[in-house]
Amino acid sequence: MPDYPVRVLHVAKSLGLGGTEKVMQLFVTNLNRNHFHPAVYSPQDGERAAQLREQGIDTYVGGDLHDVLLKFKPQIVHIHRAGWPEPDMLKPMRLAATPVVVETNVFGRHDPTPSADIIDRTLFVSNFCLKRYAAQNGIDAQPPRYSTLYNPVDTDFFGTTARKDRDFTLPVAGRISRADPGKWSRLALDILPILAREIPEFRYHVIGGIPEAHDFVRKNHLEQNVIFHDPVQTDAEIASFLDNVSLLAHANDTGESFGLVIAEAMACGLPVVTHPCQGLRDNAQLELVDHGVTGLIATSVEDYAAAVKYLFAHPDEARKMGQAGREKAARLFRAQTVTGQLETIYHELLAAKE
């Protein structure tokens, strides 16, 4: 058996407010400190660095990864990455003779380079990503070398904090994303004139508005219907924002390899409206949202607008879907449960190296 606590270094390309960094933060802060001593390395600083330090996590920002490996001497390195080749991040682990290397493959991409041979376990954030990876690359992606580990969500916090007296009769939708065109779909805009025309009191609260969205609202005279908000940093701010809407309107043509915002809205008891993506794009949003159970899936502008109107017109059904979403999120994504699954993986890998 290894000496406890086991030193685990989590590695991410930045410490900004993105979903990948948030997942990494939830993992390291929920690891059992009696068994694991977590630390974080990133070549780029960001807002999460200070948050990690406040939570008692050793944080190495910038500098050479190889030097950090020699200093911290991790028994496990857990790298969070897209999956495509990143030799600059993997080669130092080989040079430092890191005993165990785990990757969370965020986007289900394939790294055929020799540097990837050091990886002992690949974790995909959804079953969709694992299956697409196997099909596209002709790889028999079976356990224990490959498996799915859902992203952790602080469902306990959202379940406790989100309002219990939500009025689902209010025609108010919400949207959260980064202010990045790649996170948007025209669906998110083209539904607005329909909804504003048929439901004049309709309101759409948006975090992450891009210039195209601001222009669309102005040109279509929708300023009374669409309210743009500043970015948020904490779960408390997310919960507060979601307290004022009756559903999450998700629309992203790139799709989701997991869908952290969707999972968080579900944890708050909100139904979700989303759409499938074409071709080989990410489609894990359909893994999270069960049509007619935790939300609705629409395939066109008209279908999407109709789905939103249906939930507004059927508040009891919206509440039921929101509760089903809350239960699904707590069952599958609860941070403590998912981190416990990760700890089991760590123990299995260490035991296999003895």
CATH number of the structural domain spanning residue 71: 3.40.50.2000
Q: What is the predicted pLDDT for the residue at 280?
A: 79
Same domain as 179, residue 41: no
Q: Which residues pair with 39 in a beta bridge?
A: 9, 58
Please indicate, yes or no, if residue 268 is contained in any of the structural domains: yes
Taking the CA atoms of 26, 290, 271 and 282 in sequence, report the sign of the dihedral they define.
Answer: positive
Question: Could you give the CA distance from residue 83 to residue 323 in angstroms, rounded to a whole number?
Answer: 34
User: What letter would DSSP give residue 246?
Assistant: S
Taking the CA atoms of 45, 46, 50 and 55 in sequence, report the sign of the dihedral they define.
Answer: negative
Same domain as 117, residue 55: yes
Same domain as 203, residue 187: yes
Same domain as 142, residue 78: yes
How confident is the chain (354 residues) per 10-residue block, as mean pLDDT? 86 94 98 97 95 95 96 98 93 97 97 96 98 96 97 98 95 96 96 98 98 98 98 95 98 96 98 93 97 98 98 98 98 98 98 90
Give me the number of domains the chain comprises: 2
Same domain as 248, residue 100: no
Q: What is the predicted pLDDT for the residue at 234?
A: 93
Q: Hey, what are 337's tokens?
A: 């449960």
Question: Could you give the CA distance from residue 265 to residue 242 in angstroms, rounded to a whole number?
Answer: 7
Please indicate, yes or no, if residue 56 is contained in any of the structural domains: yes
Q: How far is CA 9 from the centre of its chain?
A: 20
**Helix (H) or strand (E) run with residue 13 in it:** none
**CB-based contacts of 32-38 (< 8 A; 24+ apart in sequence):** 32/343, 33/5, 34/4, 34/5, 35/4, 35/5, 35/6, 35/343, 36/5, 36/6, 36/7, 36/8, 36/343, 36/346, 37/5, 37/6, 37/7, 37/8, 38/8, 38/9, 38/10
Question: Could you give the CA distance from residue 25 to residue 165 in angstroms, rounded to a whole number?
Answer: 31
Same domain as 340, residue 326: no
φ, ψ of residue 162 to 5 degrees: the values are: -60, 145
Q: What is the predicted pLDDT for the residue at 2?
A: 65
Please indicate, yes or no, if residue 1 is contained in any of the structural domains: no
pTM recorded for the entire structure = 0.96
Same domain as 317, residue 170: yes
Q: Can you give the residue range of the structural domain that contains 267?
A: 155-332
Q: How far is CA 297 from the centre of its chain?
A: 19
CB-based contact 199:279 (threshold 8 Å): no
What are the start-end ranges of the H helices in 98-182? 127-137, 155-161
Same domain as 160, residue 113: no
Same domain as 340, residue 248: no
Same domain as 234, residue 95: no
Q: What is the predicted pLDDT for the residue at 279?
A: 80
Question: Could you give the CA distance from residue 193 to residue 230 in angstroms, rounded to a whole number?
Answer: 23
Q: What is the predicted pLDDT for the residue at 354?
A: 82
Please indicate, yes or no, if residue 76 is contained in any of the structural domains: yes
HSE, CB side, 13 Å, CA atoms: give it for residue 340.
6
Same domain as 172, residue 80: no
Same domain as 262, residue 204: yes
